[in-house]
Structure 1
């Protein structure tokens, strides 16, 4: 038999060969020379070997427990927003951090366990192999399976039930957690978990059912208890100011006043166009009366990914989102003209209260704000 090109066995001889013979034949066929293949644990059952096995099982078990905790938190932990109260534990604020922590621990535990097993139990053999072109024939396929099986046998995985069980649990529960994460909208209803009776369908500018109270436009002065409302004369031509909803029934209620400033869908940019620019405005169909003179109010929540569109360029009348550079034309119902955003910014209908002279919202937004979920049509 030529050592470079060994004689190929017949089909009958191939069928009679055991795993070790197939493994050696496969090495010779592939031009592989095993220079060194030390057994990482030549003496079986030592305390060091068992300690290494327990350490690896610990990481797999941690991965399984963290993955299970992720699933439990995702489904059952309270996620409805609550106004902040210093004297009480607010479970809502821990929802997202706990999801990140448990999912991260599950992935980390599984990764460390796999790397540790590879380092401590797989033989660190040194082999030299010649490269060859072309696909694999049936003989190559049979011998490589034998070699893989032999590698598994030499690693001792077959007799390490603790590692096999913990690794299976870690990988299985992590897969379950990723499945729940992927299908989260079917597991947890965002509408039912949101603030107010109408959930995500309305913003903080919507009055409770049956209420006719005016919702005024309020500045954020940096002190939640201080209320500063906005009049038309407060803004110069070409100016922009961020405003939030305020109801007289909330005056003196620190929690509700703070909530109005913190709720993500509340911020609105109030823009006063220059007179020459106001004459060139193109209004959206059905929203012709949403402005008050030269004053227009648009949500600050970008229709791309929900970043704050906090920049207004007076010279070009463009509303800019600093996150991904989307730009909206304030003279054409805030429709997108540059960047990844594809939907216009929602416009808030405003007017001035004849008794007080302050701006107020005539109603909530009638269109979706923010990213894609909010398509209501």
Structure 2
């Protein structure tokens, strides 16, 4: 039993003696088919496929000015796509390394505001130029023909001639001799490949380095400041009042650390007498001051509504309520975990400072875990 080679570029088994399965055996033997060129096999297969060629446009003459201009257009399209893809990779990977580190800020007009738009624009440019290059190549360099074909079931004869047709199509495309296009195509493919895997940034640059979900900018000795950056002393607030404070982070705008937003509350005398801190947090307050996270433990909304008469902090989103005289434990609504308390004291200048970061993760209940 003989083995037929049906790989593209071969004779498809036509050079092996024996009958052709399903083909016009009474007209062509394997020996006869083996003597035919790939182009002849292509035409022969088309004829037996019921293809009627109505018009043929061979494309530009090889080496002509028209062809050279079209090759340059396609090559530049693919090259620009590759450059845009590599620029995407450079901006994505280089942020925080040899480019400025970016972080989202509401009123930022610098690098952080440009980071995401640049990535989107470069990816869009790369994909557009790929499409432009393919359209120009198909329209200006490939042969064009108009044909009508009758549909029928494929046979072994069809597979032999189809293999020649496919390989012949590659030959007619002119890619082998148009080096500018093949090189720019390879360059573009490499750039696009890198660009498409960059969004999997967690495999390259770990976004969870340093436990960002379990820590905040608060730490030992970090001052409590208002939204205008001014520090706070004991006595600046009236009993029963609340003020939102942020960590005074050197070299940055502390207001934009949303996970560190904290409520500094001065208790009234009767509240202080009824105060029952959670076990292990008895010394987290300072005098008649206590500080709790502003982020609701249910869904992360800001819990900034304070009723001093009832000693309750209210979340406006889903109506959870927390009692500040019971360690900010939830007493109503869907929240099931108390607001984390920030341990506070005063520094040598008499300003409020944190004694440490929160000892538990702030935010919704699903982040509830001990910080190690």
1:32 aligns with 2:51: yes
- Against the structure 1 CA distance between its residues 29 and 353, is the aligned structure 2 distance closer, same or farther, given a 3 Å change threshold? same
Task: Measure how far apart 1:54 and its partner are.
Answer: 0.5
TM-score, normalised by the number of residues in structure 1: 0.59
Quickly say closer, same or farther: Cα 1:101–1:199, change in 2 above 3 A: farther
1:366 pairs with 2:360: yes
The 1:137–1:348 alpha-carbon spacing in structure 2 relative to 1, beyond 3 Å, is farther
Q: CA deviation at 1:120?
A: 1.4
> Residue 53 of structure 2 aligns to a residue in which SS?
strand
SS at match of 2:88: helix
Deviations for 1:190-247, whole angstroms, at most 9, x for unmatched residues?
356xxxxx5725544521xxx245647x5x5xxx457899878457xxxxx9x45245
Unaligned runs of 5+ in 2: 1-21, 265-277, 304-313, 322-329
Q: Is residue 187 of structure 1 aligned with residue 183 of structure 2? A: no
Look up the SS of the partner of 2:127 in the other structure. helix
2: CA distance, partners of 1:123 / 1:116: 13
Query: In the alignment, is the contact (CA less than 8 A) between 1:349 and 1:363 conserved in 2?
Result: no
Q: 1:349 aligns with which of 327, 341, 350?
A: 341
The runs of 4+ residues in structure 1 deviating greater than 6 Å are 226-232, 284-292, 300-303, 310-313, 351-354, 358-362, 372-377
Q: Is the 8 A contact 2:342 2:358 kept in 1?
A: no
Q: Distance in 2 between matches of 1:79 and 1:301?
A: 33
- Residue aligning to 1:78: 99
Q: Alignment length, in residue pairs? A: 304
Larger Rg: 2
* C-alpha distance in 2 between matches for 1:109 and 1:374: 48
Using the TM superposition, name which of 361-370 and 71-80 deviates more.
361-370
1:299 is matched with which residue? 295
Q: Deviations over 1:261-319 (max 9, x none)?
A: 2235345799xxxxxxxxxxxxx999999999xx974537997xxxx746987595269
Q: CA deviation at 1:36?
A: 1.6
1:37 Cα deviation after fit: 2.0
Distance 1:81 1:164, change over 3 A: closer
Residues 1:54 and 2:50 are matched in the alignment: no
- Measured in 2, the distance between the counterparts of 1:286 and 1:10 equals 94
Q: What is the Cα-based RMSD across aligned positions, in Å?
A: 5.2
SS in 2 for 1:131: coil
Mapped pair 1:18 → 2:37: yes
- TM-score by length of structure 2 reads 0.60
Q: Deviations over 1:136-156 (max 9, x none)?
A: 444333322322222333332
